[in-house]
Structure 1
């Protein structure tokens, strides 16, 4: 394998790794969005439950 071929192979490897990193970033962003939504839903549930408990204790 010539030096030029090795460089080309390394460039292809770098492009593949960049693509993987980009895909992982997208997946992590999506997961973060899902987790934030779940936290918001849970917070709303807690708020609703707390309000309901206050109403029944009156």
Structure 2
């Protein structure tokens, strides 16, 4: 394998790795949004439960 072929091969490897990192970043962003939505839903549930408990105790 010539030096030029090695460089080309390494460049392809770098591009592939960059693509993988980009895909992982997108997946992590989606997961983060899902988790934030779930936390918001759970917070709303807790707020509703607390308000309901206060109303019941009156």
Q: Runs in 1 of length 4+ with deviation above 2 angstroms?
A: none
Structure 1 residue 51: deviation in Å?
A: 0.2
Q: C-alpha root-mean-square deviation of aligned residues, in Å?
A: 0.1
Paired residue for 2:31? 31
TM-score, normalization: structure 1?
1.00
Q: Number of residues paired by the alignment?
A: 58
CA distance in 1, matches of 2:42, 2:27: 22
- The unaligned stretches of length 5 or more in structure 2 are none
